[in-house]
Amino acid sequence: MDSEHVRSSMLNVTVWSQTRMRLHEKVYKKVEKEVLKLSLTPILKTGLINITLWNKLAWNSESYTERGKTARE
């Protein structure tokens, strides 16, 4: 692997991480707002927020990976 390829890979990882963090913040606020409307105990609310975020982020990661694979082919 040449240094240009390494730099390019590092840049891609950095951009992906920053995009994911922005998505996480945006989604978290939206999910939290909806979950807080429900009449659940605090621990159930926190669990529901975490599960919902995990599912959304996992789905977005998979679709990102699929798009990348398609673009490379």
- Within a domain: 27: yes
- Within a domain: 18: no
Q: How many domains does the chain have?
A: 1
Task: Grade residue 26 by pLDDT with cuts at 50, 70 and 90.
Answer: confident
pTM, two decimals, is 0.35
**pLDDT above 70 covers what percent of the chain?**
42
- Within a domain: 47: yes
The separation between CA 52 and the C-alpha centre of its own chain, rounded to angstroms, equals: 11
Task: Grade residue 41 by pLDDT with cuts at 50, 70 and 90.
Answer: confident
CA distance 12 to 50: 27
Task: Return all residues near 20 (Cβ < 8 A) that are at least 6 apart.
Answer: 57, 60, 61
Alpha helices in 1-73 (DSSP H): 3-36, 42-72
Closest to 27 (Cα-Cα) out of 55, 59, 53: 53
For residue 67, the enclosing domain spans 23-72
- Within a domain: 7: no
- Within a domain: 2: no
